[in-house]
Amino acid sequence: MKAGSNLEKLLAGGQFVVTGELGPPKGADVAVIERKAKLLRGNVDAINVTDNQTAIVRMSSIATAAILRQMGLEPTMQMVVRDRNRIAIQSDIFGAYALGIRNILCLSGDHQKFGNHPTAKNVFDLDSMQLIQAVKRMRDEHKVLGGDEIEGPPQMFIGAAANPFADPFEYRVIRLAKKVAAGVDFVQTQCIYDMDKFGQFMQMARDRGLDKKVHILAGVTPLKSVGMARYMKEKVAGMEVPDEVINRMKGAGKEKAKEEGLKICVEQIEQLRKMEGVHGIHLMAIEWEEVVHEIVERAGLLPRPQV
């Protein structure tokens, strides 16, 4: 075991894992975290805590993850390189580990242009690849990037993101291979709607033997409405929503759209479970945590295994 987290143990034991996501409040209100956590408890094996996602200021992922830990839940702390240089990053990882956080997801972060402080300076001292290397170096070599020895190395289970749908498509698997070489233990993908394209991506990953070296968790997000599907297709960078999915949401009509969204999501999970090399799903019910239990239950993934 590298970190001994719940997530690592389940993946090592060959379980098909379910991870969820929790966006911290736009303020200091702990009740928001408690409400969302309650909806996720028992339904997922670990909870990603986003780090100022879409560059909108929220409670820090470290603090939110620590609160989840106090509640007896397992967080995966997301960390972006947009807002911190290598000094702050490494310092925050020490702090996170000291607070009991054992999983980290290394990300670049959305550009600040898209958030509520578009005129901010960005940092990007490291990139996500280099962040993976830094966390691995801290864990395995007990050294910070500068070379100094660490007193009490943080033993993190290291995650990263993979987007099979950004361009150039052929490069996506190479980039995943680079993340694997950098030392990542698990990856969570961008939300998948185009199952064929994801199938091709997985085939390319298997051809390179990557599925044997890293746990790939497939990202799924239930659609609430045809408007959301269209927004995802047109406005979200690196996202592909096939017309077939949009037509299904449209065909369901306004009243049954949510049910159709859940149905699509459950079907996707069933297909993903059969895909070789997919070791779990990352269920991102964005500001819709209420449906997590139902999706996981209908997908036949309850009860979650205990370790």
Partner 1 sequence: MIIADGKPIKEILGMIERYDKVILAGCKGCVTVCSTGGEKEVGILSSALRLARQAKGKPLEVKEITLERQCDTEYLEPLREIVDGYPAVLSLACGAGIQFLAEKFRKHPILPGVNTQFIGVTEEQGVWTERCQACGNCVLDQTGGICPVARCSKSLFNGPCGGSKKGKCEIDPNVDCGWQLIYDRLKELGQLDELEKVLPVKDWSTSRDGGPRKRIREDLKI
Contacts to partner 1 by CB under 8 A:
111-113, 118-122
3 state DSSP class of 242: coil
Could you give the CA distance from residue 195 to residue 109 in angstroms, rounded to a whole number? 25
Looking at beta carbons only, is 121 or 235 nearer to partner 1? Answer: 121
Read off the tokens for 25.
Answer: 């409040």
Write down the least CB distance from residue 148 to partner 1, Å.
Answer: 20
Write down the least CB distance from residue 113 to partner 1, Å.
Answer: 7
Write down the least CB distance from residue 111 to partner 1, Å.
Answer: 7
Looking at beta carbons only, is 122 or 203 nearer to partner 1? Answer: 122
Write down the least CB distance from residue 94 to partner 1, Å.
Answer: 24
Question: Could you give the count of Cα atoms lying within 13 Å of 123 in the half-sphere of its Cβ?
Answer: 17
Looking at beta carbons only, is 111 or 233 nearer to partner 1? Answer: 111
Could you give the CA distance from residue 85 to residue 43 in angstroms, rounded to a whole number? 35
Looking at beta carbons only, is 117 or 254 nearer to partner 1? Answer: 117
Looking at beta carbons only, is 91 or 122 nearer to partner 1? Answer: 122
Could you give the CA distance from residue 254 to residue 226 in angstroms, rounded to a whole number? 8
In degrees, rounded to 5, the angle at the alpha carbon of residue 54 between the alpha carbons of residues 19 and 249 is: 65
Q: Is the alpha carbon torsion for 8, 14, 15, 18 positive or negative?
A: positive
Looking at beta carbons only, is 111 or 304 nearer to partner 1? Answer: 111
Q: Is the alpha carbon torsion for 44, 306, 72, 41 positive or negative?
A: positive
Write down the least CB distance from residue 122 to partner 1, Å.
Answer: 5
Write down the least CB distance from residue 82 to partner 1, Å.
Answer: 10
Classify each residue of 51-86 as buried b or exposed e, where b means 16 or more C-beta atoms within 10 Å of its C-beta.
bbbebeebbbbbbbbbbbbeeebbbbbbbbbbbbeb
Checking DSSP bridges between strand 17-22 and strand 75-80, what pairing results, if any? Answer: unpaired
Place of tokens 């820090």: 60
Write down the least CB distance from residue 80 to partner 1, Å.
Answer: 15
193 CB contacts (<8 Å, ≥6 apart)? 229, 232, 239, 240, 241, 242, 245, 268
Looking at beta carbons only, is 118 or 251 nearer to partner 1? Answer: 118
